[in-house]
């Protein structure tokens, strides 16, 4: 195979439990966010880097992710059955299957506006230095989480409550990371928790580089109703539209006399004639009230 391209893995195997019943029939990475799914939006951002091969993993409602991957031109969607392989497992598998050229990892439930090309260039430049780090992690500043501890050398020194140093600059992992082929080759068979691999790299004197240059970029975990609304608002803003407008999934019929403001309406939503819907997400069998208008937030991974 051609190994001159950068491989990109979008993690899309989550169960979407915080968005049920919306995710009863559609996996979280395929939930529409205004005009496209997060899987689609992440793929677009990855392609902006240049020459890439797109991969995704899938588990819950995997057949839908496989079909979406085909439509979006993915190299492959790796189905994980009967169990999810964590994060480390899919990384090791891509390397074991012979893919080379480095690997960029992204989350399939995060709305963000990172400059991925700048991040990859920075990561590759760090790795090219003598004894340079072969893993790079993109960090944001989110005090609610901020479990990373970054040393004065710009490398990961520890994770609060997990391992390593308790001092250092606090930061939050964005879910975006880069691995050289050499780093991927060191992930052990059966390893699932990528944090354990980072710990091993630190112990071996190869601590991951933490890129702190995009800390104020938009980064939203859309895995909760609040996060989903925040992602919708961010997408509307990106499209130059009013963040308070109604977003209605194509094909949904709205009864006469209905007023909808700052709300998202998905297929199957029950709406009465003359009703006013405001600050809500509605769909088949659910109605969520979402009042906030966050610019940047996460609900945790």
In tens, the pLDDT along 76-113 reads: 999 998 888 889 999 999 999 999 999 999 999 999 99
Cβ pair 173, 166 in contact under 8 A: no
Does 41 share its domain with 170? Answer: yes
Look at residues 155, 185, 211 and tell me which one is the last residue of a structural domain.
211
Q: Is residue 295 part of a domain?
A: no
Does 233 share its domain with 206? Answer: no
Q: Is residue 72 part of a domain?
A: yes
Does 202 share its domain with 239? Answer: no
Look at residues 169, 189, 211 and tell me which one is the last residue of a structural domain.
211
* Percent of the chain scoring above 70 in pLDDT: 96
15 has pLDDT over 50: yes
Cβ pair 78, 178 in contact under 8 A: no
Does 149 share its domain with 192? Answer: yes
Q: Is residue 300 part of a domain?
A: no
Cβ pair 35, 131 in contact under 8 A: no
Does 34 share its domain with 177? Answer: yes
Cβ pair 59, 81 in contact under 8 A: yes
Look at residues 185, 211, 237 and tell me which one is the last residue of a structural domain.
211
Does 132 share its domain with 226? Answer: no
Look at residue 235 in the predicted model and tell me its pLDDT: 96
Look at residue 83 in the predicted model and tell me its pLDDT: 84
**Residue ranges making up the domain that contains 253:** 221-289
């Amino acid at each position: 195979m051609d190994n001159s391209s950068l491989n990109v893995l979008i993690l899309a195997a989550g169960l979407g439990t915080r968005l049920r019943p919306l995710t009863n029939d559609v996996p979280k990475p395929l939930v529409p966010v205004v005009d496209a799914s997060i899987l689609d939006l992440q793929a677009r951002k990855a392609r902006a880097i240049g020459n890439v091969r797109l991969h995704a993993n899938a588990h819950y409602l995997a057949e839908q992710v496989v079909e979406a991957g085909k439509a979006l031109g993915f190299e492959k969607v790796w189905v994980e059955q009967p169990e999810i392989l964590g994060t480390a497992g899919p990384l090791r598998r891509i390397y074991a299957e012979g893919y080379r050229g480095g690997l960029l990892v992204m989350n399939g439930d995060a709305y963000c506006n990172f400059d991925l090309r700048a991040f990859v260039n920075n990561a590759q430049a760090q790795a090219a230095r003598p004894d340079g780090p072969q893993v790079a992690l993109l960090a944001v500043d989110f005090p609610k989480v901020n479990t990373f501890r970054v040393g004065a050398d710009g490398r990961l020194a520890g994770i609060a409550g997990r391992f390593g140093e308790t001092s250092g600059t606090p930061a939050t992992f964005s879910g975006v990371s880069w691995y050289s082929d050499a780093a991927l080759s060191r992930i052990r068979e059966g390893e699932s928790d990528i944090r354990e691999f980072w710990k091993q790299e630190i112990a071996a004197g190869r601590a991951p580089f933490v890129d702190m240059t995009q800390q104020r970029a938009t980064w939203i975990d859309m895995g909760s109703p609040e996060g989903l609304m925040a992602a919708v608002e961010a997408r509307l803003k990106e499209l130059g539209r009013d963040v308070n407008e109604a977003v209605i999934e194509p094909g949904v019929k709205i009864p006469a006399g209905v007023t909808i403001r700052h709300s998202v309406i998905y297929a199957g939503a029950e709406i009465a004639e003359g009703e006013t819907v405001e600050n809500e997400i509605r769909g088949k069998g659910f109605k969520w009230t979402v009042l906030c208008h966050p610019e940047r937030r996460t609900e945790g991974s």
